[in-house]
Amino acid sequence: MFIGHYGLGLASKRIAPSVSLGALFLACQFADLLWPTLVLAGVESFKIRPGITAVTPLDFEHYPYSHSLLALIVWGILLGLIYRTVARSSWRAALVLFALVVSHWVLDVVVHRPDMPLAPGLSSRLGLGLWNSVPGTLAVEFLLYVIGAVAYLKSTVARDRVGSIGLWMLLLFLSIVELANVLGPPPPSVLAVTWSAQAMWLLVAWGYWVDRHRDPIARR
């Protein structure tokens, strides 16, 4: 799953207005941001097998530290506590970040083949396999994304052009990447996938940048 995760990140601005969109992106995509580094380090691994699902050709052989339920609970607790300490935030903000980190696992279980681990060392794997359907995947991902984008737009107001145009460019860019991922040709190599995954850190930076140019709207 790609933009469905960002949908949840965007939507969370409504319940945690003090938290920057960049931090919300970091939390909802924490698993996928950690993953390429672990692959490059040789700790986790995947292969490209075109046709393995209708949507993605990636065969996730081993990724218990970035994508198991237990690991994401631990990462979520750590991220929440670090954020609370560094940003002197409320417990509510820390809890939202924790929930977003764990939400990645739940949403990935919906789309992945049964390859999502519960904990490092356990052999059982979960996955409902929505990736076997291109229209089904696009419908669920874009639904989550549009709900999230609308919630973010309604919870914040642009202070200037970076806040308005910058946000719309970000929203458009994510949609294009999603369509390219789902409808485009399979990636050329493991290394190409890994480095384009590293580029997702730029989306965290983009989220911080845009969010700094928008103000939360006080809810009635």
Range 139-198, binding Zn ion (CB under 5 A): none
76: buried, middle or exposed (CB in 10 Å: 19+, 13-18, 0-12)?
buried
DSSP code of residue 166: I
Outline where the chain has alpha helix (H): 3-11, 21-28, 30-40, 64-67, 69-87, 91-111, 134-155, 161, 167-183, 190-198, 201-211
Residue in 181, 171, 174 with CA at minimum distance from that of residue 210: 171
Instruction: Confirm or reject binding of residue 215 to Zn ion (CB under 5 A).
Output: no
In the complex with Zn ion, the residue whose CB is nearer, 122 or 157, is 122
Q: Is 31 in the site for Zn ion (CB under 5 A)?
A: yes
Minimum Å distance from CB 31 to Zn ion? 5
For the bound state, the minimum distance from the C-beta of residue 78 to Zn ion, rounded and expressed in Å, comes to 18
Looking at the Cβ atoms of 58 and 153, the one nearer to Zn ion is 58
Specify the residue, 32 or 59, whose C-beta has the smaller distance to Zn ion. 32
- Smaller CB distance to Zn ion: residue 31 or 130? 31
Cα(210)–Cα(206) distance, rounded to whole angstroms? 6
Among 25, 39, 97, 108, binds Zn ion (CB under 5 A): 108
Q: Which residues bind Zn ion (CB under 5 A)?
A: 31-32, 108
